[in-house]
Amino acid sequence: MKIHQHNSITKFHKISIAPMMDCTDKHFRMIMRKISSKALLYTEMIVAQSLIYTDQKERFLNFNEEEHPISIQFGGDNPEILKEAAKMAQDWGYDEINFNVGCPSPRVCSGNFGASLMKEPETVAKCIESLKNNCNLPVTIKHRIGVDKADSFSSLDNFVKRIANSGADRFTIHARKAILKGLNPKQNRTIPPLNYEIVKKLKESNPKLIIEINGGITNIEQCINALNDFDGVMIGRSIYKHPLRWSEIDQKIYGLNKKSKPASKIIFSLIPYIENHLKNGGKTWDICKHLINLVEGIPKAKIWRNQISIKSIKKELNIAYLLELTSKLEEMGY
Ligand SMILES: Cc1cc2nc3c(=O)[nH]c(=O)nc-3n(C[C@H](O)[C@H](O)[C@H](O)COP(=O)(O)O)c2cc1C
């Protein structure tokens, strides 16, 4: 299936919602799009090799038109394979390709991609060149400030300069290094300390590069402050766990004159989408598992969430029940 090219191609995005495996699938992205009409959305990481060889390309590539602007994230280390992946991304209508050099998973690193590639700038440069030469989308990169012992400013600076020369259009930098031996992926997102200063120094030394900061950002005020130093801010865990905390992105960051939606309104607006998903053989839980995080910090939030989960386990989570529960939220003013 081919989707028409969208015209939202730009390298600048003040706010983006991080790629997160098992979280940022198309359903979560639809929920986020109801919250912000502007933030850049990312797919989960797609291993380029798996995409090329699978006969279920739709499963990896399909997204909803409303999701634009949307970046597809690839992992890989083979320029020939990435070439094919780039063509597919463009044909499918993505707005941007992002290359993952930040994932510390041993599974990913054993295939010699993800964060371990930071030790091989020449390979990364070839991958970026291959992506660039085979599509006309912006090609961006997501990486760490270092990996293992290669964590000096000069190695980061050299890496970024080399990759900029290969044509990368934006650098999203998770401001902690990756430790490939001894820490699992989860620990690699908390234990190595955040170091925004090194990224700030990098931006100061390379003012023409578009640099987006990522890691540990938990509210809109922090984003506004970070935008004084960086071109963009990427938010991961905080937006997944607390989507409504971010309900004023469009107003406070993009200056749009609109009202932010309460949880009930967001859920009601998703009902046709959920109905369509069911019609195509999907399950309510595929979408509702992301929706439950919308309901927090209000009386009986836990009960609301439990009811959704229990009904789902009993295979009784249908639209009528969802509407009933959401009407209760609306009655309470949420
Ligand atoms: C569950 C989970 C899955 C993730 N999957 C990816 C991924 O597929 N690709 C990627 O580049 N980063 C991935 N990350 C890292 C995030 O994109 C982000 O860089 C990291 O969580 C730091 O940002 P935060 O502190 O705002 O969460 C993942 C993070 C989490 C928590």
Q: What domains does the chain contain, in order, with CATH numbers?
A: 15-252 (3.20.20.70), 263-331 (1.20.120)
Which backbone phi and psi does 68 adopt, to 5 degrees?
Answer: -55, 145
Ligand 1 centre to CA of 45 (Å) is 10
Q: What is the pTM of this model?
A: 0.95
> pLDDT at position 300, please?
87
Task: For residue range 66-117, list pLDDT tens digits in order.
Answer: 999 999 999 999 999 999 999 999 999 999 999 999 888 776 655 667 888 9
Ligand 1 centre to CA of 146 (Å) is 16
Ligand 1 centre to CA of 103 (Å) is 8
The count of residues in the chain is 334
CA 96 to chain centre: 12
Beta-sheet strands, E only, within the chain:
15-17, 40-47, 70-75, 96-101, 139-144, 170-174, 211-214, 232-235
Closest CA to 133 of 171, 61, 79, 91: 79
The answer to whether the CB of 93 is under 6 A from ligand 1 is: no
How high is the mean pLDDT of the chain?
Answer: 93
Segment holding 278, helix H or strand E: helix 263-279
> pLDDT at position 114, please?
86
> pLDDT at position 109, please?
56
Task: For residue range 178-196, list pLDDT tens digits in order.
Answer: 998 889 999 999 999 999 9
The answer to whether the CB of 202 is under 6 A from ligand 1 is: no
The answer to whether the CB of 174 is under 6 A from ligand 1 is: yes
* Closest ligand 1 atom to 234 CA: 26
Tell me the CA distances in angstroms from 196 to 176, 200, 213, one per residue in order: 8, 6, 8
Does the annotation mark 103 as catalytic?
Answer: yes
Does pLDDT of 3 surpass 80?
A: no
Tell me the average pLDDT across 214-239: 98
| Residue 107 burial by Cβ neighbours in a 10 Å radius (0-12, 13-18, 19+) | exposed
CA 155 to chain centre: 26
Three-state SS string over 211-270 comes to EEEECCCCCHHHHHHHCCCCCEEEECHHHHHCHHHHCCHHHHCCCCCCCCCCHHHHHHHH
Task: For residue range 253-277, list pLDDT tens digits in order.
Answer: 999 999 999 999 999 999 999 999 9
> pLDDT at position 108, please?
65
Does pLDDT of 17 surpass 80?
A: yes
Highest average pLDDT, of 5-19, 57-71, 111-125, comes from 57-71
> pLDDT at position 64, please?
97
